[in-house]
A and B are shown apart, each in its own frame.
Chain A
């Protein structure tokens, strides 16, 4: 257990060191900045709650990404999948006024999942049946989704007064309400945690999850043992999309209540950092999401008190991903061998990506 946390911690520490250099170059104080981040994220009760609110979409997208990555399916399209899920939720939301609360919530969330599932499924089908690289596929679909959102809020779903490019607000019944107002704690967070547990069970306690992980680590061997790669690819991408889409629906239902352009500030990409820090373990997604949610939340305070723009968080994300990838490269085993001599039981197989021990 300890060794599996060591790597992400080391990566974060190295990232912090590099960030400090950047900050120094900008004439800011690294200590001051980190303190401001921490203060902004956890300084008081409301900050903590807001951190959790900001972490919630990262759990959904993080799960989506880590699930796909476990199968060596590089889903860079969580943003698009989340967006389409949000569109579905935002489209059906205004019409749920006459439903009982629980049903309305169920419908809006289901709509979001289906929307995301569709978007992920398209990329999955393209990969499974047309051999279209899923990276290109999901990235392209991201942009199509952005345009789709732009279109609906300027067009078919635009709110009736046509004054602002947003959609009509969703019905009260379909809104996930807040507890302990004015905090924004809502059931979406609970749902995220439950899903993380469910994903963990799926990945490590079911036959399907096993097949996905086997495909991710060694496609050839998986084929040899009769695992049907195209079908698995399609369903994994569909499920991944569904998770992201659900995240989009939760955002609409709990927080924004309506559609507007630029719904996602890059959750889909941030999710990659989250997934890698969590080492693709769904349970690890929760603390990793909270970490990055904290950074997002704290960045506003950081901007106020230290004058560093919130984009620093993106720098952290990028650095963390690069460092983790660099740590995992097989090139290091060659270097290690040169320095320490070949270990007696060396296996010459390059890792696909760092995989969790569960």
Chain B
């Protein structure tokens, strides 16, 4: 039996896991569900030894696991298939697998023998292997997932943890994969399946644990629940009544126009597929979707960090600087934590231009501007000279919002803008956004938080697998929307 007792893990100021208890039995498929940011991957990393918890311990069959040692975890019989790729791109697949358990460790390295053993196991599982000595680089995503699963299984593990393995599989491959999991269960292993695909969880799991914001929200079984309920538990308190302040879309003039926006990655996979929509002045349009369906790339395209493979982004009636983007990863992309508040402020080109004349940066002007914004947006900071890293998460977010608004854009694009904020801070940010749109600005809110979207968006779009679909105006059933977000077919 695999147990996690009171696991707590902090990253800086963020509490990723808060005294989480978890248990999985042999001969069981245990699904771990939750939104991104709920803590599933962190929990997996603790169990697999990649991460050492701050408090608490993991125990397998009564023996505590050595924290922070992947080697110890593997030796104890825990193998993990991670969500982000852990393959060595430029090595051949045989070499990749050789670093797993197929290698006997004795005598010279025999890649051929390893390949034979791998193919045997793959055949048993119904996998196809890539051609001999092919490097991993150009294989498809599905093949990579299979290789990683194969490598994990080569350790003959007691426990197999899989983090979102099916998100890249085609429906045809899905059935086979779920059967594979059932086979593993039949062999008496412990299978932990991390997923946000509720249909799969219900279809294949024996028990389901729901994580939300670093805590266990519920423990249940497929018999006792259904997708709707799970969606609700995952997403949290459902606001059944949209707040009165949600304005129905005023049809002002379109400000942001996206036409057939398409993005393919360097291997040729389609990340965004012919997106077309527009946002009008005074409108708050929401794009709802679980993380990983193309939102990050869409934001990068809008910010100009990436270029689309085809399609157009137009900001009508405005100069290039008239779109302010608030990225999801505020600490990495949105702010320079080593710099002061006023310096972070002038990162935004329109603001920088405001305080610069003939190339000269008017520092005192910038500092004054910063002070003004600190007051206006009630950012809790000692002053404009404070280093951004010293601010709490909420205040950093206030700074980013302040910066976006102060640049006087025509459009604000915000990605998961309230992630990690408490209710009060969230309400404040929402108020600001609403004021902005009431004043005639256009807002595109990309979020995985349905409450937020339902609370303030006029129009709602759903993004799934790189495609956008409009929802019916007035379609406000959060449970149904949650299902659409989680990938259910119409």
Spell out A's residues near B (CB within 8 Å).
204-210, 213-214, 217-218, 220-226, 342, 344-349, 351-352, 355
Instruction: Check if B303 sits within 8 Å of A224, measured CB to CB.
Output: yes
Q: Indicate whether B325 reaches chain A with its CB closer than 8 angstroms.
A: yes
B335 surroundings in chain A (CB, below 8 A): 218, 221
B336 surroundings in chain A (CB, below 8 A): 214, 217-218, 221-222
B10 surroundings in chain A (CB, below 8 A): 342
Partner of B360, one of A206, A220, A224, A351: A206
Q: Measured between alpha carbons, how far is A204 from B339 in the docked complex, in Å? A: 12
Q: Indicate whether B12 reaches chain A with its CB closer than 8 angstroms.
A: yes
13 further A-B contacts with Cβ under 8 Å, apart from A204-B361, A217-B339, A226-B349, are A205-B361, A206-B360, A208-B359, A210-B343, A217-B338, A218-B332, A218-B337, A220-B333, A221-B333, A224-B305, A226-B304, A349-B337, A349-B338
Q: Measured between alpha carbons, how far is A213 from B346 in the docked complex, in Å? A: 12
Q: Measured between alpha carbons, how far is A205 from B356 in the docked complex, in Å? A: 9
Instruction: Check if B13 sits within 8 Å of A214, measured CB to CB.
Output: no
Q: Indicate whether B120 reaches chain A with its CB closer than 8 angstroms.
A: no
Q: Measured between alpha carbons, how far is A222 from B361 in the docked complex, in Å? A: 17
Q: Measured between alpha carbons, how far is A182 from B339 in the docked complex, in Å? A: 48
Partner of B332, one of A205, A220, A226, A355: A220
A53 to chain B, nearest CB (A): 34
Q: Measured between alpha carbons, how far is A355 from B336 in the docked complex, in Å? A: 13
Instruction: Check if A348 sits within 8 Å of B11, measured CB to CB.
Output: yes
B347 surroundings in chain A (CB, below 8 A): 214, 221-222, 225
Most-contacted residue by chain B among A208, A213, A347, A349 (CB, 10 A): A347
**Closest A residue by C-beta to B355:** A207
A224 surroundings in chain B (CB, below 8 A): 303, 305, 325, 327, 333-334
Most-contacted residue by chain A among B12, B336, B361, B363 (CB, 10 A): B336
Q: Measured between alpha carbons, how far is A139 from B80 in the docked complex, in Å? A: 43
Q: Measured between alpha carbons, how far is A304 from B257 in the docked complex, in Å? A: 77
A355 surroundings in chain B (CB, below 8 A): 338
Partner of B334, one of A208, A217, A221: A221
A204 surroundings in chain B (CB, below 8 A): 361, 363
**Closest B residue by C-beta to A215:** B336
Q: How large is the interface on B (under 10, 10 to 19, 20 to 34, 35 or more residues)?
A: 20 to 34
A351 surroundings in chain B (CB, below 8 A): 338
Stretch of B146-154, B271-279, B388-396 on the interface side? B388-396
Q: Indicate whether B204 reaches chain A with its CB closer than 8 angstroms.
A: no
Q: Indicate whether B484 reaches chain A with its CB closer than 8 angstroms.
A: no
Q: Measured between alpha carbons, how far is A351 from B325 in the docked complex, in Å? A: 25
B304 to chain A, nearest CB (A): 6
Instruction: Check if A207 sits within 8 Å of B333, measured CB to CB.
Output: no
Q: Measured between alpha carbons, how far is A214 from B305 in the docked complex, in Å? A: 16
Instruction: Check if B349 sits within 8 Å of A225, measured CB to CB.
Output: yes
A199 to chain B, nearest CB (A): 15
Partner of A347, one of B12, B303, B363: B12
Q: Indicate whether B408 reaches chain A with its CB closer than 8 angstroms.
A: no
B390 surroundings in chain A (CB, below 8 A): 345, 347
Q: Which of B321-379 contact A (CB under 8 A)?
A: 325, 327, 331-339, 343, 346-349, 352, 356, 359-361, 363
Instruction: Check if B12 sits within 8 Å of A348, measured CB to CB.
Output: yes
Q: Measured between alpha carbons, how far is A221 from B334 in the docked complex, in Å? A: 6
Instruction: Check if B331 sits within 8 Å of A347, measured CB to CB.
Output: yes
Instruction: Check if B363 sits within 8 Å of A205, measured CB to CB.
Output: yes
Question: Can you name 8 A-B residue pairings with CB atoms under 8 Å?
Answer: A207-B361, A208-B359, A214-B347, A221-B332, A221-B334, A221-B335, A222-B347, A355-B338
A213 surroundings in chain B (CB, below 8 A): 339
A226 surroundings in chain B (CB, below 8 A): 304, 349
A219 to chain B, nearest CB (A): 10
A88 to chain B, nearest CB (A): 28
A214 surroundings in chain B (CB, below 8 A): 336, 339, 343, 347
B353 to chain A, nearest CB (A): 8
Q: Measured between alpha carbons, how far is A345 from B390 in the docked complex, in Å? A: 5
Q: Measured between alpha carbons, how far is A349 from B338 in the docked complex, in Å? A: 8
Q: Measured between alpha carbons, how far is A209 from B346 in the docked complex, in Å? A: 12
Partner of A210, one of B327, B337, B338, B352: B352
A225 surroundings in chain B (CB, below 8 A): 347-349
Q: Measured between alpha carbons, how far is A217 from B389 in the docked complex, in Å? A: 13
Q: Measured between alpha carbons, how far is A344 from B388 in the docked complex, in Å? A: 14
B359 surroundings in chain A (CB, below 8 A): 206-208
Q: Measured between alpha carbons, how far is A223 from B332 in the docked complex, in Å? A: 11
B296 to chain A, nearest CB (A): 12
Q: Measured between alpha carbons, how far is A345 from B338 in the docked complex, in Å? A: 13
Instruction: Check if A210 sits within 8 Å of B361, measured CB to CB.
Output: yes
B332 surroundings in chain A (CB, below 8 A): 218, 220-221
**Closest B residue by C-beta to A218:** B336
